[in-house]
Amino acid sequence: MVSPKTIKFASEAALEDFVWVHLEALLGLVPFKRQYSLNGECCDLLAFDQSQRLVVLELKNVVDRGV
Give tens-digit pLDDT for 42-62: 999 999 999 999 999 999 887
Average model confidence (pLDDT) for the chain?
Answer: 87
DSSP letter for each residue of 22-40: THHHHHS-EEEEEEEEETT
Q: Is 15 helix (H, G, I), strand (E, B) or coil?
A: helix
65, part of any domain:
no
Q: What is the pTM of this model?
A: 0.77
Say how many domains are in the chain: 1
pLDDT at 6 over 90: no
pLDDT at 31 over 90: yes
Which of these, 39, 40, 48, 21, lies nearest to 57 by C-alpha position? 48
pLDDT at 20 over 70: yes
42, part of any domain:
yes
Range of the structural domain that residue 19 is part of:
4-57
